[in-house]
């Protein structure tokens, strides 16, 4: 499982304060704690911070890169902010994200190819998030076709079938799993599959339990990456265990520590 730590996001009050007060220690500590807990990459999202998004994003990228050379996952819906961040990134980078409309794909897929970045593409277009499996599969097919057209290898493409909170959209968790199952079959080799896992439990009680149960189900459907809370030990252990049970990782008596120390 490719774990993208979610904590460097202005949605969290501690991170927001770090960005607004230009407090490098807060951000660098969050970066290192997530990597120590098993994150492979770090999501970088300015969220609802004061100031210009482009300045905040540039500062975040530079601040994190002073502390680590882990891959960054630049999380912004704004193309100019994305381009500015990619210019500063020294290491392999993930573009998070593009929508599945033709115009957006024609902008973002060439940007990924030109900058040798991976690309997360959401199954969202002008009409929003599809309500069912079929809508997601149709958009996933559009994304794969565009990636092939522009020469982006499937190993660099991550399809995100967009999970919504279970308390307001109770049919969506199952629809997302159905979409991953079907989309795995449309291309050989298949692309990667990613989710913003914590979305599923937003504004719910028992967040860790919901996230943990869902990650096990999603890994079973074919999920191989997630923007997730790497600092939640139970969640990380369940994700690793799900992979052991599908023989994506080898079992040994100490498989959790073996997995984490192999990072």
The residue whose two tokens read 């309500």 is 131
Touching ligand THG, residues 155-174 (CB under 6 A):
160, 162
Handedness of CA 92, 58, 87, 109 (dihedral sign): positive
- Is the CB of residue 218 less than 8 Å from the CB of residue 238? no
- Is the CB of residue 231 less than 8 Å from the CB of residue 191? no
Does 96 bind ligand THG (CB under 6 A)? Our answer is: yes
User: CA torsion angle for 140, 146, 151, 154 (degrees, to 10)?
Assistant: 0
Q: Is 111 helix (H, G, I), strand (E, B) or coil?
A: helix
Give the number of residues in contact with ligand THG, rule: CB under 6 A: 19
- Go through the chain and tell me how many residues it has: 263
Using N-to-C axis directions, what is the helix angle for 233-245 and 207-221, rounded to 10°?
Answer: 20
Q: Which stretch binds ligand THG (CB under 6 A): 58-66, 129-137, 179-187, 196-204?
A: 196-204
| Residue nearer to ligand THG on the CB measure, 6 or 243 | 6
As measured in angstroms, the least distance from the Cβ of 194 to ligand THG is 6
| Residue nearer to ligand THG on the CB measure, 176 or 216 | 176
Burial 46-64 (b: 16+ CB within 10 A, else e): bbebeeebbebbbbbbebb
Q: Which stretch binds ligand THG (CB under 6 A): 9-17, 27-35, 185-193, 255-263?
A: 9-17
Among 202, 208, 224, 237, the residue binding ligand THG under the rule CB under 6 A is 202
| Residue nearer to ligand THG on the CB measure, 221 or 249 | 221
Does 199 bind ligand THG (CB under 6 A)? Our answer is: yes
Among 37, 60, 63, 75, the residue binding ligand THG under the rule CB under 6 A is 75
Among 49, 118, 182, 198, the residue binding ligand THG under the rule CB under 6 A is 198
* Residue 259 neighbours by CB under 8 Å, 6+ apart: 38, 240, 249
Does 2 bind ligand THG (CB under 6 A)? Our answer is: no
Residues that bind ligand THG (CB under 6 A): 6, 9, 11-13, 43, 45, 75, 96-97, 120, 160, 162, 194, 196, 198-199, 202, 227
């Amino acid at each position: 499982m490719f774990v993208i730590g979610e904590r460097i996001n202005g949605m969290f009050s501690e991170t927001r304060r770090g960005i607004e007060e230009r407090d490098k220690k807060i951000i660098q500590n969050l970066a290192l704690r997530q990597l120590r807990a098993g994150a492979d990459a770090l999501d970088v999202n300015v969220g609802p911070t004061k100031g210009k998004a482009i300045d905040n994003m540039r500062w975040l990228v530079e601040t994190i890169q002073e502390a680590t050379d882990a891959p960054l996952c630049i999380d912004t819906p704004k193309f100019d902010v994305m381009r500015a961040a990619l210019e500063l990134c020294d290491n392999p980078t993930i573009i998070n994200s593009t929508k599945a409309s033709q115009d957006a794909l024609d902008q973002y897929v060439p940007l990924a190819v030109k900058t040798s970045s991976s690309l997360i593409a959401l199954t969202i277009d002008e009409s929003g998030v599809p309500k069912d499996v079929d809508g997601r599969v149709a958009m996933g097919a559009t994304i794969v076709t565009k990636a092939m057209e522009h020469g982006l290898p499937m190993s660099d493409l991550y399809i995100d079938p967009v999970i919504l909170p279970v308390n307001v959209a109770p049919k969506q968790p199952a629809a997302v799993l159905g979409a991953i199952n079907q989309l795995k079959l449309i291309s050989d080799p298949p692309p990667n599959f990613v989710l913003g896992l914590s979305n599923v439990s937003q504004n719910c009680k028992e967040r860790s339990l919901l996230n943990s149960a869902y990650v096990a189900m999603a890994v079973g459907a074919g999920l191989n990456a997630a923007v997730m809370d790497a600092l939640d030990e139970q969640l990380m252990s369940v994700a690793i265990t799900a992979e052991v049970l599908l023989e994506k990782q080898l079992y040994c008596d100490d498989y959790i520590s073996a997995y984490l120390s192999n990072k």
